[in-house]
Amino acid sequence: MNQPLGYLKEILSNYTDRSDIGKEIYAIIREDDFTSEESFVSRLSNEQIDFLNKILPDEISHAQEEDDGERVMQLNEVHERLY
């Protein structure tokens, strides 16, 4: 699995019980073996992209607070592809 998407999948696992959209995105990552963030983003609906745009800044901030530079970098890779 693509490493940035692995980090995203881990984060989304925290949203699957409280968000249908989070559950949908988690399933998309789990079901396909994406080789790039671009191929993943191309599968998303506008609603799913909006959801990720809402949660990723907070998740990236949290990773920065935890001084987890690798996670920050990988999540930024995904976040940049959403635009």
Residue boundaries of the structural domains of the chain: 3-81
Span 13-72, pLDDT tens digits: 999 999 999 999 999 999 998 989 999 999 999 999 999 999 999 999 999 999 999 999
* pLDDT at position 50: 97
**Dist CA 2 CA 37 (whole Å):** 8
Q: Reply yes or no on whether the pLDDT at 1 is more than 90.
A: no
Label residue 83 by pLDDT band (50, 70, 90).
confident
Structure tokens at 4: 């940035």
Task: Using alpha carbons, list the distances in angstroms from residue 47 to 3, 31, 38, 51, 65.
Answer: 23, 19, 17, 6, 28
Q: Is-above-0.85 flag for pTM?
A: yes
Structure tokens at 19: 């968000």
